[in-house]
Structure 1
């Protein structure tokens, strides 16, 4: 089947932009990609499957880049990755058995408030670094919501770790690297359920654009001032979650 180069380029641009933001700020690849794909007429199930399939490759490159730039806290990595995988398996199972929309508005309202708080702390330079105390439950909840709700790993885990005082650069790099293992789990579930139909032209474009952008995101996370990172994370969480909440309630 012939592929329209213009269509492919659009999906490549979406994948590049989404991964650049995700690699630099630790979240929003799924939210940005899924929202744009659905707005272009791609069915929600196909959009979610395509995004997660592409993420398997983009998170691998992003993780390698963050490791190379020494953005990863390995102790924190294991504390979120293992519960995240367990949560991802549970979320994928729930998605195939029960509707997960009931809790979505509450989660989005919580994230919107959290985003505003992070933005305020970044602007006011009030981020005091300390070791986060609540870690493993965040991985479990983040993995569950990412699989069951079509995204949210970075928004849940990154933002909550930052609220507890975790170093912004290390948090973003660690959450991005752990996401690779979570995404493999979720993508395997989609492929098992849908077959390779999940690998569409949209998936190919997202994959190409995301892989190209991944190293740049890790570089940005390393170089940008922690307060600036916190401000951008807060603004992004507020905008994406607020928009999602608006759509969920209307």
Structure 2
């Protein structure tokens, strides 16, 4: 199996490096780095969609791990919520990756677009949402709601992927009552687990391009570190603004995919 670097032209490698850094930064702040990273990988000559997905997950897990550690050191997220949520999300992600092999993601994309529009409207019309942490549940109910979020969004990450971090953040803001900064910090821990779950499914298939994945991982780490530090410094208002931009980009990207698949027939 090749590493994916042998015949990679310098210009394409530079694009992968820039795209990986940008994806790591976006993922660290609000999630959605796959919007940048996956399309860049698909530009690599000779790469298959499955290889791109597997290599994308490898790069992403480096970035999410780095940003999770940075958030932990600077924002001290609640691990009593984040760790059980991450464990359930890992299982959900593995399950989603299995379903992705038999059920095309195109079936779910129209639903995801509608969900993203609802998320954007909710965030735009409620400017105070996510400003302060005001938990809506306590004890077992809190952990149960967190586990449900982890399972559903983990499954989504394994099945489709782009915007997982954004869905995690808005779910923790709207359902659990955390502010944007606390939600983003915990989302990185959960997103690290979902990446690991999907990667565990892809590894035995031999689809991973190790050399390209390691390069992507290194630049993801750099982007994740810078993004996490900036998010902690700037706080919830900054995260909310970036969140709205990323959600808008997700709506446009997935909406265009749906249009192509169902209207244009491509």
TM-score after normalising by structure 2 = 0.82
Q: 1:48: how far off?
A: 1.3
> Which residue of structure 2 lines up, in the alignment, with residue 142 of structure 1?
153
> Which residue of structure 2 lines up, in the alignment, with residue 212 of structure 1?
222
| 8 Å contact kept, 2:90–2:196 | no
Q: Does 1:57 align with 2:68?
A: no
After alignment, is 58-67 or 124-133 more displaced?
124-133
Cα displacement string for residues 49-107 of structure 1 (whole angstroms, at most 9, x for unaligned residues)? 11012122222222211111124221220242122012112112112233232122111
Query: In 1, distance between residues paired with 2:146 and 2:252?
Result: 25
Q: Does 1:233 align with 2:237?
A: no
> Which residue of structure 1 lines up, in the alignment, with residue 257 of structure 2?
247
Matches within 5 A, 1:23-62: 23-25=28-30, 27-38=31-42, 42-62=47-67
> Which residue of structure 2 lines up, in the alignment, with residue 186 of structure 1?
198
After alignment, is 35-44 or 154-163 more displaced?
35-44
RMSD (Å), alpha carbons: 2.3
TM-score after normalising by structure 1 = 0.87
| 8 Å contact kept, 1:23–1:218 | yes
Query: In 1, distance between residues paired with 2:59 and 2:51?
Result: 12
Q: 2:118 aligns with which of 109, 113, 127?
A: 113
Gaps of 5+ in 1: none
> Which residue of structure 2 lines up, in the alignment, with residue 176 of structure 1?
188
Q: 1:140: how far off?
A: 0.6
| 8 Å contact kept, 2:62–2:221 | yes
Query: In 2, distance between residues paired with 1:97 and 1:10?
Result: 32
SS of residue paired to 1:101? helix
SS of residue paired to 2:178? coil
Q: 2:98 aligns with which of 93, 101, 104?
A: 93
Query: In 2, distance between residues paired with 1:68 and 1:126?
Result: 21
Query: In 1, distance between residues paired with 2:129 and 2:186?
Result: 23
| 8 Å contact kept, 1:69–1:218 | no
Q: Does 1:160 align with 2:165?
A: no
Query: In 2, distance between residues paired with 1:234 and 1:204?
Result: 30
Q: 1:67 aligns with which of 60, 63, 72?
A: 72
Query: In 1, distance between residues paired with 2:157 and 2:81?
Result: 19
> Which residue of structure 1 lines up, in the alignment, with residue 264 of structure 2?
none
Matches within 5 A, 1:8-27: 8-25=13-30, 27=31
Q: Which has the larger radius of gyration?
A: 2
Q: 1:199: how far off?
A: 1.7
| 8 Å contact kept, 2:89–2:155 | yes
| 8 Å contact kept, 1:48–1:150 | no
Aligned length: 246
Q: 1:58 to 1:127 in 2, by over 3 A?
A: closer
